[in-house]
Amino acid sequence: MVETVRGTRRALAAVAAALAAVAGLVTPGPAAAQQLFPEVIALPDGWMPEGIAAGRGPTMYSGSRATGQVLAVDVVTGSSRLVVSDPAGAPAVGLKVDRWNRLWVAGGNSGQGFVYDASTGATQAVFDLAVATPTFVNDVVITRDGAWFTDSNNPFLYRVPIDGRGRIGEPQAVALGGDYQHVAGFNLNGIAATPGDRWLIAVQSSTGVLYRIDPGTGDATAIDIGGVAMTNGDGLLVEGLTLYVVQNRLNRVAVIDLDPITFTAGEVVGALTSPHFDVPTTMARFGGWFYLVNARFTTEQTPETPFSMVAVRR
């Protein structure tokens, strides 16, 4: 009887620890992390991921550049299911989930944006965004009144209005001005919003410059981070006054403390790395973990190429 009680207590303690970890209240110990939060989660061979988005609970979404399909991954168990099996178009690049549980997808060189039901995968909307070709609609961020897309080949942001009831309006092109300089190669890539959605922040991959952008006018102000270039800047994540910049081919994430008043200055205070990084592109958070997908741009992309999602401690 004593051993049975002890065994029951150990089992209950393990369940309690797991639930607390899922709620983001504690960081699981090494044993729990191995069992409940795999550090590397395999994606389908040939998947060719680039975007990642946090959904409800422990769900992360990963899109395929190859097919436009979207996978829902349970980061606690590592299991996954195909949620968008019949996409409205391809590729699927940047991803975000809005508060109505809709999945917004940047459509890369299609020049389009797609909206799906994040539970069923049903198509909700398709937009023609690009104002010129060639185009590469690269990433998307959701604010309180709209979805904003970057175009890496054209000096515009694309805004799709969303009203307070979740109704979606017609897309608008917002020309970039101010300090923004359009150059050869890949331009604006990752995009994020500051607290309260007062400003947008985007990174220019070809120059490594970060911009604070006024969503009302499109005017961009270069963010002074002490002359440090965000070389190979890709996905962005803002949490409070901290900006995370995924530097894909450098296999690291720069950590930047932003000026709390203007968001036009900051200081690089560290970096996140992992031995499992293989050209990570974008990131999202669940509990005490950040999750990134490995795009493996330096590896031949074939239907047999393995891909993965990697967890790093926050």
Same domain? 2 vs 58: no
For 54-110, how does the pLDDT look when each residue is reduced to its tens digit (9 = 90+)? 999 999 999 999 999 999 999 999 999 999 999 999 999 999 999 999 999 999 999
Question: Does 161 share its domain with 181?
Answer: yes
On the question of pLDDT at 112 being above 60, the answer is yes
**Mean residue pLDDT across the chain:** 91
Please check whether residues 28 and 41 belong to one and the same domain. no
Secondary structure of the chain in HEC code, one letter for each residue = CHHHHHHHHHHHHHHHHHHHHHCCCCCCCHHHHHHHCCCEEEECCCCCEEEEEECCCCEEEEEECCCCCEEEEECCCCCEEEEECCCCCCCCCCEEECCCCEEEEECECCCEEEEEECCCCCEEEEEECCCCCCCCEEEEEEECCEEEEEECCCCEEEEEEECCCCCECCCEEEECEECCCCCCCCCEEEEEECHHHCCEEEEECCCCEEEEECCCCCEEEECECCCCCCCCEEEEEEECCEEEEEEHHHCEEEEEEECCCCCCEEEEEEEECCCCCCCEEEEEEECCEEEEEECCCCCCCCCCCCEEEEEEEC
| Same structural domain, 47 and 161 | yes
Task: State what percent of residues in the chain have pLDDT above 70.
Answer: 89
User: Domain of 269?
Assistant: 37-313
The answer, yes or no, to whether residue 31 has pLDDT greater than 70, is no
Mean pLDDT of 208-219: 98
The verdict on 12 and 63 lying in the same domain is: no
204/99 same-domain check: yes
For residues 121 and 228, state if they share a domain. yes
pTM, rounded to two decimals:
0.89
**Same-domain check for residues 23 and 41:** no
Are residues 24 and 96 both part of a single domain?
no
pLDDT tens track for 124-145: 999 999 999 999 999 999 999 9
pLDDT at 32: 41
Domain check: are 19 and 115 in the same one? Answer: no
Residues 169 and 247 placed together within one structural domain of the fold = yes
pLDDT for 35 equals 52
Residue 37 confidence class, pLDDT cut points 50, 70, 90:
confident
Q: Same domain, yes or no, for 202 and 161?
A: yes
Which CATH number covers residue 111?
2.130.10.10
Task: Tally the domains of the chain.
Answer: 2
